Structure 1
Amino acid sequence: MTPRRQTPRVPVTSPAAATVFTTVLTEGPVSRVDVARRTGLSSAAVTKAARPLIEAGYLTELDSATTGVGRPASPLEVVADREFFVGVKITHDELIGVVTDLRARIRVSGHLPLTSRKVDAVVSNVGELVTELLKAPRYRERTSTVGVTVAGDVDPASGHVRYSPFLHWRDVPLAELVAEVTGLEATVGNDVKAITVAEQWFGAGVGAPSFALVTLGTGIGCGLVINGDVVTGSHGVAGEIGHIPVSGDGPLCHCGATGCVEAIASTDAIVAQARTATGEPGLTMAEVITGARLGDVALRRVFARAGVAIGRGLAAMANLTGPERIIVSGEGLDAYDLFADEIRETFATHAFGAAAECELILRPLPFEEWARGAAAIAVRTLFLS
């Protein structure tokens, strides 16, 4: 496919411009005086950084208002429709896609079943979904970037998927392949870290210099923000709470180790343990949850063990990084009531000192939010030169 005409990129040419734009994007409308106060930049630096952003149509000045001390102010606001972004989350059996505006507000969404997990087939399906999402001219003409996320080990700098356990991929140049099939600039990231970016800028992480996002479900994932920065680590795998060993005699994990949080508390792990405990090989997760809520002792033990594993993992992460809050999300929240006590009690026992005081926030995660996270990392490309 021939690349589409690229829309002009936002003129973020300096750290000051990135700081001003990010502040208005996440906290706007906000006056220049407040931007200066919140960022430590001088008023002159804020004005200089904002001018090209206004001229390019990414920021606008709202009608003059009056501050509490009687001085006129013209708050800066992001023009959300100036540019649109596509986000695609690849699961083991389907694609979830969205189109968002600059504030990562979902405008269009769609799902497409995968025809195969082979790389060429998945990339072709991504192209089909992106074409469908951008069929409206206003979206097609103002979109130049697509963000794609997968579970696993991803190198965001190169756009390579080094290892994705659920897709059984190794060393896949996904960004290059998606750019070729869509004609858009492509950025690729780990799915949980992408949602962390969305929460930092547009969700429960706004205003928190340090926080953690933990997702419970098919995998146990964690994204970290420390002193305002999303932590990826030298190899892009920082925050892998799912592979913290918490049980010396625990089950084998797909990573090759034993006793990992994910090997005990992921959806698949819970189902496997429940089948063994009951002798019923056909149990589904829904049936396991129902049975546990009805009081089945064996199933309650499975969830209790999972809660202890999650609590230990959260405590280890809190002891190491000291987050202000921990956001717990993911499809695993459907069963949260079955192991909430064990999670909180274990966390309180193993968290050291003031680390135990960090706030736990439960946040539902509809499937479209995964794709919104992918769009958020596409928005972030505005700040990368």
Structure 2
Amino acid sequence: MNLSRQPPSAALVLQTLLTQGPLTRAELGRRAGLSSGAVTKVSAPLLDDGWITELGPSGDRQPGRPATLVGVRPERARFIGIKITSDELIGMLVDLTAAPLTTHRTPLRSRDVGTVVRAVARLVRTLSGPAGKGKGESGPAVHSIGVTVSGDVDGLSGTVRYSPFLDWHGVRLAALVEEATGIPAVIDNDVRALTVAEQWFGAGVGLSSFALVTVGAGVGCGMSVEGRVISGAYGVSGELGHLPVGSGDRVCTCGNTGCVEAVASTQAIVDQVQEQTGDADLSLADAVRLARAGDATARAVFTRAGRALGLGIASVANLIGPERIIISGEGVAAYDLFADEIRRAFADRAFGAAARCELVVRPLPFETWARGGAAMAAHRLFAPLPGRSAGATGH
């Protein structure tokens, strides 16, 4: 059965069960906004083809026949998620519920497109081969691959328009990965993919609207509004790092000045502390150590970074009014040095009730980012991109 050819209600049923199940049919209909008849009609082919299954009585003490719980069959399909960084690939094999089955990391010795694609293909073989299966287990073939990259990524065309940390321009990555692996592939911005992961099984579960802000080599933002992760009309959305928040003369990776990222990314922080101390060999760990030891110069750099982040986060709250903003990325390891200034700037600039938005700090390893890529691939299974196949139908 090709899920992309099923009515939208079938995708809605599967998505609701994936994120909120198992559920009784009555509860499934209520949460999906479908009548009992519609739930029965769209569930039948999903049951027949093994995408969902009946799990037994719900345990509710209701008069009459006990209601039966319905849930997805995790083993029905497998997906691979891969996060590409400037020096490493992080991959994860998951089941239909995005539960991790195995992970693997491999270094990148070159950012050349061909070299990276070949490394992706090797990683896919590692994850989908014997290492990705238990002893004596066969399991389904990998249905599709979700690859995530930082920067301006057009998931619709499968193209990396621009990735500053890889120095890629106009790379048709989805087609290259499909050609190298023989498996359908989708690509997207890494922060949007991580936002999908948080929406499905992280700190965004059950929220109507939330945002995810990541602080690291760049500063990114994913936004989920009324249950939809926003991609933007041109594949660009949530570019918090390039929001102008001050006059400053520091040049951002985008070529402009005054951006959040030019002040608050991990590299920007290192650069500023190096400049202020005159120590060109100083690392991020050194900068953090100096600031925590009370060095006024280092602390001032973190304070400026915190204010820029706080202003940017307040802008997100003012624009979309989320219930929660999750702050993550490798930069949150030093969150104690940002925290006060972030919250002070947020409180100063969040307008009205937007100031009630909850700020949650959530450190997430790169494996979770890879899981986001796999979740994105699973999501595209039943919500395919316009004009693109949802993948092979025989898996």
TM range (shorter): over 0.9
What are the equivalent positions in structure 2 for 1:220-369 lying under 5 Å apart? 220-369=219-368
Structure 1 counterpart of 2:13? 20
Looking at structure 1, the residues matched to 226 and 336 of structure 2 have their Cα atoms a distance apart, in angstroms, of 32
Does the CA-based 8 Å contact 1:103-1:202 persist in structure 2?
A: no
Q: 2:84 aligns with which of 90, 109, 121?
A: 90
Q: 1:299 to 1:14 in 2, by over 3 A?
A: same
| Runs of 4 or more above 2 Å deviation | 8-12, 68-71, 136-142
Looking at structure 1, the residues matched to 351 and 10 of structure 2 have their Cα atoms a distance apart, in angstroms, of 39
The amino acid across from 1:18 in the alignment is: A
Does the CA-based 8 Å contact 1:84-1:139 persist in structure 2?
A: no
Looking at structure 1, the residues matched to 284 and 72 of structure 2 have their Cα atoms a distance apart, in angstroms, of 43
What are the equivalent positions in structure 2 for 1:1-385 lying under 5 Å apart? 9-10=2-3, 13-71=6-64, 72-136=66-130, 141-385=140-384
What secondary structure sits across from 2:281 in the alignment? coil
Looking at structure 1, the residues matched to 59 and 157 of structure 2 have their Cα atoms a distance apart, in angstroms, of 48
The alpha carbon displacement at 1:317 in A equals 1.2
Structure 2 counterpart of 1:3? none
Q: Deviations over 1:228-259 (max 9, x none)?
A: 11111111111110100001124111101101
The amino acid across from 1:307 in the alignment is: G
Looking at structure 2, the residues matched to 312 and 319 of structure 1 have their Cα atoms a distance apart, in angstroms, of 10
Does the CA-based 8 Å contact 2:241-2:260 persist in structure 1?
A: yes
Looking at structure 2, the residues matched to 187 and 139 of structure 1 have their Cα atoms a distance apart, in angstroms, of 25
What secondary structure sits across from 2:203 in the alignment? coil
What secondary structure sits across from 1:263 in the alignment? helix
Looking at structure 1, the residues matched to 73 and 231 of structure 2 have their Cα atoms a distance apart, in angstroms, of 30
Does the CA-based 8 Å contact 1:82-1:142 persist in structure 2?
A: no
Q: Deviations over 1:255-303 (max 9, x none)?
A: 0110100000000000000111111111100011011111101100000
Looking at structure 2, the residues matched to 189 and 157 of structure 1 have their Cα atoms a distance apart, in angstroms, of 9
Looking at structure 1, the residues matched to 272 and 63 of structure 2 have their Cα atoms a distance apart, in angstroms, of 66
Looking at structure 2, the residues matched to 14 and 199 of structure 1 have their Cα atoms a distance apart, in angstroms, of 26
Structure 1 residues not aligned, in runs of 5+: 1-7
Q: Deviations over 1:49-72 (max 9, x none)?
A: 111111111101011234233341
The alpha carbon displacement at 1:9 in A equals 4.5
The alpha carbon displacement at 1:11 in A equals 6.5
The alpha carbon displacement at 1:196 in A equals 0.5
Looking at structure 2, the residues matched to 368 and 35 of structure 1 have their Cα atoms a distance apart, in angstroms, of 31
Looking at structure 2, the residues matched to 335 and 161 of structure 1 have their Cα atoms a distance apart, in angstroms, of 30
Q: Deviations over 1:93-117 (max 9, x none)?
A: 1110010111111111001111311
Does the CA-based 8 Å contact 1:220-1:266 persist in structure 2?
A: yes
Looking at structure 2, the residues matched to 195 and 249 of structure 1 have their Cα atoms a distance apart, in angstroms, of 30
TM-score, with length taken from structure 2: 0.93
TM-score, with length taken from structure 1: 0.96
Q: 1:267 to 1:34 in 2, by over 3 A?
A: same
Does the CA-based 8 Å contact 2:158-2:174 persist in structure 1?
A: yes
Looking at structure 2, the residues matched to 295 and 11 of structure 1 have their Cα atoms a distance apart, in angstroms, of 58
The alpha carbon displacement at 1:384 in A equals 2.6
Looking at structure 2, the residues matched to 42 and 330 of structure 1 have their Cα atoms a distance apart, in angstroms, of 41
Q: Deviations over 1:345-368 (max 9, x none)?
A: 100100000001001111111110
**Higher mean C-alpha displacement, 9-18 vs 331-340:** 9-18
Does the CA-based 8 Å contact 2:75-2:140 persist in structure 1?
A: no
**Higher mean C-alpha displacement, 244-253 vs 206-215:** 244-253
Does the CA-based 8 Å contact 2:24-2:58 persist in structure 1?
A: no
Identity of aligned residues (%): 53
The alpha carbon displacement at 1:141 in A equals 4.0
Looking at structure 2, the residues matched to 347 and 230 of structure 1 have their Cα atoms a distance apart, in angstroms, of 23
The amino acid across from 1:123 in the alignment is: V
Looking at structure 2, the residues matched to 181 and 28 of structure 1 have their Cα atoms a distance apart, in angstroms, of 36
The amino acid across from 1:190 in the alignment is: N
* Count of aligned pairs between the two proteins: 378
The amino acid across from 1:51 in the alignment is: A
